[in-house]
Structure 1
Amino acid sequence: MKKLILILSIISITFNNCTTNKGNFEIGDKTFLLNGEPFVVKAAELHYPRIPKEYWEHRIQASKALGMNTICLYVFWNYHEPEEGKYDFSGQKDIAAFCKLVQKYDMYVIVRPGPYVCAEWEMGGLPWWLLKKKDIKLRERDPYFMERTKLFMNEVAKQLSDLQITKGGNIIMVQVENEYGSFGTDKPYIAEIRDIVKDAGFTDVPLFQCDWNSNFENNALEDLVWTVNFGTGANIDDQFRRLQELRPNTPLMCSEFWSGWFDHWGAKHETRSAEALVNGMKEMLDRNISFSLYMTHGGTSFGHWGGANFPNFSPTCTSYDYDAPIGESGNITPKYYEVRNLLKNYLPEGQTLSEIPDSIPTISIPAFTLTEMASLFENLPDAIESETIKSMEFFDQGWGSILYRTKLNASDEEQTLIITEAHDWAQVFLDGERIATLSRLKGEGTVKLPPVKDGAQLDILVEAMGRMNFGKGIYDWKGITEKVEIQTRNKTTELKNWQVYNIPVDYGFAKNKQYKKQENTAKHPAYYKATFTLDKVGDTFFNMINWSKGMVWVNGYAIGRFWEIGPQQTLYMPGCWLRKGENEIIILDMASPTKPETEGLRKPILDVQKGNGAYAHRKLGEDLNLTGETPVYKGSFKNGNGWQHIKFGKTIDTRFFCLEALNSHGGDNYAAIAELELLDEDGKPVSRQHWKLVYADSEELDDANNVATNVFDLQESTFWHTNYSKTNPKHPHQIVIDLGEDKKITGFSYLPRAEANKPGMIKDFRVYVKMTPFKLK
Structure 2
Amino acid sequence: MCRFKLCFLLMTLSHLAWEGMAQQPTVYEYFSSGGITEGLKADQRDHFTLNGKPLTIYSGSFHYFRIHPDQWRDRLRKYRAAGLNAVDIYVPWNLHEPKRGEFDFGQGNNDFSMFLDLPRVLEIVQEEDLLVVFRPGPYICGEWEFGGLPSWLLSETPMFIRTSHKPYQDRAAIYLHEIISRVKDMQFYSASGKTGGPIIAVQIENEYGNFGYGDFPRDIEHLRFLKKTLETEGVESLLFTSDSPNLTKDYGNVDNVLMTANFKFDSLENLDNLLSFQPNRPVFVTEFWPGWFDHWFEQVHNTLNLEDFTEILQNIFLYKGSVNFYMFHGGTNWGFMNGANVLAGTGLPIFPSYAPDTASYDYDAPLTEAGHYTPKYDRAAEMIATNDPLANVLAKPARPAIVPPVAYPDITITEYLDYAGILSNLPSTAKQSSKVLLPMEQLDLNDGNGQSYGYIIYRKQLALKTGDKIKIRGHVRDLLQLIVNGKMVNRPILEFSDLAFFGSWGPLDSEFEVDLSEVGTCNPSCTVDFMVENLGRANYGKPHELQQNKGLWEGPVLLNNQPLEDWEIMSLEFNSAWVSRYDILGKDGHCLHFAFLQFLETNCNFSLSGWKPLGAEDLTLGPKIFKANLQVDDDSPQDTYFDFDCPDCQSWKHGSFFVNGFNVGRYFQVGPQKTLYIPGPFLATGSNEIVIMENYGGSNKMKFTDVPNYGSPSSPQK
Partner of 1:763: none
| Structure 1 segment 336-485 matched on structure 2, within 5 A | 336-347=377-388, 348=390, 349-351=392-394, 354-380=397-423, 381=426, 382=428, 383-395=431-443, 396-409=450-463, 414-437=468-491, 438-443=502-507, 445-450=510-515, 453=522, 454-471=524-541, 472=543, 473-485=545-557
Query: Are 1:253 and 1:291, in contact at CA under 8 Å, matched by a contact in 2?
Result: yes
Q: Structure 2 CA distance, aligned partners of 1:569 and 1:235? A: 33
Who wins on radius of gyration, i.e. which is larger? 1
Q: How far apart in 2 are the matches of 1:407 and 1:563? A: 31
Deviation at 1:505, TM superposition (A): 2.1
Give 3-state SS (helix, strand or coil) of 1:338's partner: helix
Kindly indicate whether the alpha-carbon contact (under 8 Å) linking 2:90 and 2:134 is maintained by their aligned counterparts in 1.
yes
In 2, Cα distance between equivalents of 1:242 and 1:420: 41
| Structure 1 segment 570-609 matched on structure 2, within 5 A | 570-593=675-698, 595-607=699-711
Distance of 1:544 and 1:500 partners within structure 2: 32
- 1 CA distance for matches of 2:481 and 2:83? 50
Specify the alignment match of 1:200 in structure 2. Answer: 233
- Measured against aligned partners, the alpha-carbon deviations of 1:686-705 in whole angstroms (never above 9, x if no partner) come to xxxxxxxxxxxxxxxxx749
1:483 match: secondary structure: coil
1:220 — aligned with what?
A: 253
Q: Is 1:499 matched with 2:515?
A: no
How far the C-alpha of 1:483 sits from its partner, in A, is 3.5
Superposition map of 1:172-191 within 5 A? 172-184=200-212, 185-191=218-224
Output the CA distance in 1 between the equivalents of 2:357 and 2:242: 23
Q: 2:118 aligns with which of 95, 100, 105?
A: 95
2:619 is the counterpart of 1:522: yes
Higher relative contact order (CA 8 A, sep 6+): 2
2: CA distance, partners of 1:541 / 1:412 = 44
Residues 437-478 of structure 1 show CA distances to partners (whole Å, capped at 9, x for unaligned) of: 445453363211248744232211111111011113321111
Structure 2 CA distance for partners of 1:97 and 1:82, relative to 1, 3 Å: same
SS at match of 1:365: coil
Rounded Cα–Cα distance in structure 2 between residues aligned with 1:337 and 1:56: 20
Whether the 8 Å contact between 2:614 and 2:700 is mirrored in structure 1 is: no
Query: 1:721-760 residue pairs with structure 2 within 5 A?
Result: none
Q: How far 1:379 sits from its partner (Å)? A: 3.0
CA distance in 2, matches of 1:484, 1:247: 52
> Is the CA contact (8 Å cut-off) linking 1:304 and 1:505 kept in structure 2?
no
The corresponding residue for 1:720 is none
User: Structure 1: how far apart are the matches of 2:363 and 2:83?
Assistant: 19
Contact kept? 1:313, 1:440, Cα under 8 Å: no
2:161 matches 1:118: no
| Structure 2 CA distance for aligned equivalents of residues 551 and 430 of structure 1 | 23
Preserved contact between residue 579 and residue 661 of structure 2 (Cα < 8 Å): no
Q: Do 2:413 and 2:614's aligned partners in 1 also have CA atoms closer than 8 Å?
A: no
- Please tell me the residue identity of whatever aligns with 2:488: R
- 2:668 equivalent to 1:563: yes
Distance 1:405 1:286 in 2: 62
Give the structure with the higher percent strand.
1
Match of 2:277 among 237, 243, 246: 246
Residue number in structure 2 paired with 1:716: none
| Deviation for aligned residue 1:128 | 0.4
* AA of the residue aligned to 2:406: I
Aligned length: 590
- 1:47 alignment counterpart: 63
* 1:18 shift after superposition: 11
Deviation at 1:351? Answer: 4.0
Which residue number in structure 1 is paired with residue 586 of structure 2? Answer: none
Shift of 1:277: 1.3
Q: Is 1:59 matched up with 2:70?
A: no
Partner of 2:20: none
Q: Which amino acid aligns with 1:519?
A: G
Residue identity matched to 1:242: N
Larger deviation: 530-539 or 52-61?
A: 530-539
Q: Amino acid of the residue matched to residue 364 of structure 1?
A: A
Q: Distance in 1 between matches of 2:332 and 2:175?
A: 25
* One-letter identity of the residue aligned with 1:263: D
Aligned partners of 2:436, 2:393: CA distance in 1, in Å? 71
Aligned Cα root-mean-square deviation (Å): 2.1
Describe the shift of the 1:281–1:136 C-alpha distance in structure 2 as closer, same or farther (beyond 3 A).
Answer: same
For residues 599 and 411 of structure 1, what CA distance do their matches in structure 2 show? 42
Aligned-residue offset at 1:240: 2.6
What do the CA deviations read for 1:569-609 (whole angstroms, capped 9, x no partner)?
A: 2111111111111111000001112x23222211211117x
- Report deviation, 1:198: 1.3
Distance apart, 1:398 and its partner CA: 0.9
Q: Map Cα deviations across residues 386-423 of structure 1 (whole Å, 9 max, x no partner).
A: 12111111112111001111022466753243353321
SS at match of 2:35: helix
**Partner letter of residue 373 of structure 1?**
Y
What amino acid is the match of 2:35?
T
Cα distance in 2 for partners of 1:580, 1:169 equals 37
Which residue is equivalent to 1:653? none
Shift of the 247–363 alpha-carbon distance from structure 1 to 2, 3 Å rule, reads same
Counterpart secondary structure, 1:423: coil
Question: Which amino acid in 2 is paired with 1:68?
Answer: L
Q: Give, as a single letter, the amino acid of the residue that structure 1 aligns with 2:44.
A: D
Code of the residue aligned with 1:442 in structure 2: it is G
Conserved in 2, the CA contact under 8 Å of 1:407 and 1:458? yes
Residues of 2 paired with 1:49 and 1:550: CA distance?
21
| 8 Å contact from structure 2 (residues 481, 488) kept in 1 | yes
Q: Is the 8 A contact 1:418 1:487 kept in 2?
A: no
Q: Scaled by the length of structure 1, what TM-score is found?
A: 0.73
Q: Which runs of 5+ in 1 are unaligned?
A: 1-16, 609-702, 706-724, 726-757, 759-777
The amino acid across from 2:576 in the alignment is Y
Which range moves more in the overlay, 461-470 or 343-352? 343-352
| Map 1:146-157 → 2, pairs under 5 A | 146-157=169-180
Q: 2: CA distance between counterparts of 1:260 and 1:40?
A: 23
**2:466, 2:671 → 1: CA distance?**
41
Cα separation, 2, equivalents of 1:200 and 1:324: 35
Give the % identical residues: 30
How far 1:21 moved relative to its partner?
A: 6.2
Rate the CA distance shift 1:230–1:533 in 2: closer, same or farther, 3 A.
Answer: same
Note closer, same or farther for the CA distance 1:68–1:18 as it changes in structure 2 (3 Å cut). closer
Pair 360,441 (structure 1): closer, same or farther in 2 beyond 3 Å: farther
Match of 1:644 in 2: none
Letter in 1 for 2:631: T
What SS does the aligned partner of 2:475 have?
Answer: strand
Partner-residue secondary structure (3-state), 2:554: strand
Is 1:79 the counterpart of 2:95 in the alignment? yes
SS of structure 1 residue aligned to 2:261: strand
Q: Is the Cα–Cα contact under 8 Å of residues 339 and 538 in structure 2 kept in the other structure?
A: yes
* TM-score (norm. length: structure 2): 0.79
Q: Report the counterpart of residue 290 of structure 2 in structure 1.
A: 259
CA 1:277–1:115: 2 relative to 1, 3 Å: same
1:66/1:340 contact within 8 Å kept: yes
> 2:349 maps to which residue?
none
